Amino acid sequence: STNSSDANNVVRNEGTGDAEEPEISAAEASLMKKILRSKLIESTYDVEVQRNDPNSPLYSVKSFEELNLNPDLLKGVYAMGFNSPSKIQETALPTLLADPPQNMIAQSQSGTGKTAAFVLASLSRVDASKSFPQVIILSPTYELALQTGNVAKQMAQYCKEIRFRFAVRGEEVPRGEKITEQVIIGTPGKVMDWALRFNFFNIRKIKVFVLDEADVMIATQGHHDQSIRTRRTASWLSEKLATEGHAVALLSGDLQVDQRIAVLNRFRDGKEKVLITTNVCARGIDVEQVTVVVNFDLPVDQKGRADCETYLHRIGRTGRFGKVGLAINMVDGPRTIALLKQIEDRFGRKIVKLDAEDVDEIE
Ligand code: ADP
C-alpha cells in the first residue's frame, strides 16, 4: 500500500452526535505524547545494554564533547538546550557512532531522548558533500515523520549542507528525477515506493536506516476499544462549564489531527485548566501537570459492565512520575454504584466516598 500512513488515522470518522468514540491508534497516542512533552523525562529504569559481542568495551559518555561530533552538529545540539546526554543517550550514542557501524535496538520510556539520539547518530553519518540519500528514517505516520523532521532540522541548523526530504503523503517527485537530499524522513509505504517502485534513489547507498516506533509500526490494526464512552456528553459538559465561566478545552475524536494538537498545546501551556475528553484521551496522554482526573461517566463496555482496563488507563493520567494523584468518580444512583463496586473488586482497592456537601473535604 502507498497509504500506510493513512491506515492509522482510525479516529477520523465522519459520525455526528453520539456516535461511538473509537480508540485512537498507537501512532496517534505517540504523537500526542510528543506534542505534550516539552522536556526530557528522567527514566525511572536503569538502562540495560545488550550487545552481540560481550567483549566490546561497554562505555558511556557523560558529555557530548566526548563523542567527537562534527563541531557544527555539536553547536546544534547545544542550541537545542541539551547540556549533557540523557541516560539512554549516554549508553546508546557511543555504539551508534562506533566504527564499524553496528545495529541497535533501543527501548525506553517516551520522553527519555531516543529521537534526539537517533537523529544525532544519523546526522553524524551524513557526508554533506555528496548529493544523494544516505539516511532513511521511517516513522509510523505523517505527523510523527514531521515531528522527527523538525528535530532533525533544528539539530542540523548549523550544518547548512545537510538537506532533508519528506517522503509522506502530498510529497511528490517527478518521474525520472533523482532525490539529492541526504536524509529521507517518511512513512513506510511512500519510502518503499520511492526506493523500489520508482528508483528515486539508490537504496544501496543508504548508510543509516532507522525504524522509529518500530513496535507501533508493526502493531496490529483493528484492536478496538470496547468502551462506549460519547462525544455528545463531552460537548454538553464543556458548554455547561464554559457558560459557568470555566476555561475548558474539549478533545474528542471528531477533531482533525491539527486541531487536536492545537487543543493539547493550549492545555499544556495552561491556557485551559480543565480538559474534557472522551476515551480518545484515556490512553496515551501523559500530561505531567494533570493533578486530578474526574470520571464524569464511568467507563462501561457494550454489555454495560465496568470497563476496568479503560478506568485504569484514565486514572493513570494523574499521579504519574512519582507524584501523588487524585481521581474522582461521579456517582448518581444504583447503576453507577454497582459499576464502582465492580471496579473495586477487580483491583482489590476500596474507593473512598466523598461527601458532596462537604466542600472542605472535597478540596
Ligand atoms: P523520546 O524519543 O524518547 O520520546 P525525545 O528525544 O523526543 O524522547 O526527547 C524528549 C524531550 O527531551 C524533547 O523535548 C527533547 O528535545 C529533550 N531532550 C532530548 N535529549 C535531551 C538532552 N540530552 N538534554 C535535554 N533535553 C533533551
Q: Complex ipTM above 0.95?
A: yes
Does ligand 1 have an atom closer than 6 angstroms to the CB of 64?
Answer: no
Calpha distance 209→136 (Å, rounded): 5
The single-letter DSSP state of residue 196 is: I
- Residue 106 is placed in which grid cell? 533501543
Ligand 1: which of 37, 38, 40 to mutate, judged by most atoms within 8 Å of the beta carbon?
Answer: 40
Does ligand 1 have an atom closer than 6 angstroms to the CB of 235?
Answer: no
Q: How confident is the model at residue 361 (pLDDT cuts 50, 70, 90)?
A: low
- Residue 2 is placed in which grid cell? 502507498
Does ligand 1 have an atom closer than 6 angstroms to the CB of 37?
Answer: yes
pLDDT of 263-317, one tens digit each? 888 888 888 888 888 766 656 566 666 778 888 888 888 778 898 888 888 887 6
pLDDT of 100-137, one tens digit each? 888 998 888 888 899 999 999 999 999 999 999 999 99
The predicted model gives 174-185 an average pLDDT of 96
Query: Is residue 274 helix, strand or coil?
Result: strand
- Sign, CA dihedral 341-345-351-353, equals positive
Query: Is residue 306 helix, strand or coil?
Result: strand
Phi and psi based region of residue 222 (left: phi greater than 0; alpha: psi -120 to 50; beta: remaining): left
Give the nearest ligand 1 atom to 80 CA: 16
Query: Which secondary-structure segment (H or E) carries 257?
Result: helix 257-268
Q: Please answer whether residues 128 and 207 qualify as being in contact, where contact means their C-beta atoms are separated by less than 8 angstroms.
A: no
Calpha distance 88→60 (Å, rounded): 10
Residue with the nearest Cα to atom 19 of ligand 1? 113
Give the nearest ligand 1 atom to 116 CA: 6
Calpha distance 252→278 (Å, rounded): 6
CA 55 – ligand 1 centroid, Å: 30
- Residue 185 is placed in which grid cell? 524522513
**This prediction's pTM:** 0.61
CA 91 – ligand 1 centroid, Å: 15
pLDDT of 37-75, one tens digit each? 767 776 655 555 554 444 444 567 889 999 989 999 999
Give the nearest ligand 1 atom to 84 CA: 23
The single-letter DSSP state of residue 303 is: T
Does ligand 1 have an atom closer than 6 angstroms to the CB of 76?
Answer: no
Query: Which secondary-structure segment (H or E) carries 135?
Result: strand 135-138
Does ligand 1 have an atom closer than 6 angstroms to the CB of 89?
Answer: yes
Calpha distance 308→344 (Å, rounded): 9
CA 206 – ligand 1 centroid, Å: 25
Does ligand 1 have an atom closer than 6 angstroms to the CB of 142?
Answer: no
pLDDT of 135-162, one tens digit each? 999 998 899 999 999 999 999 999 999 9
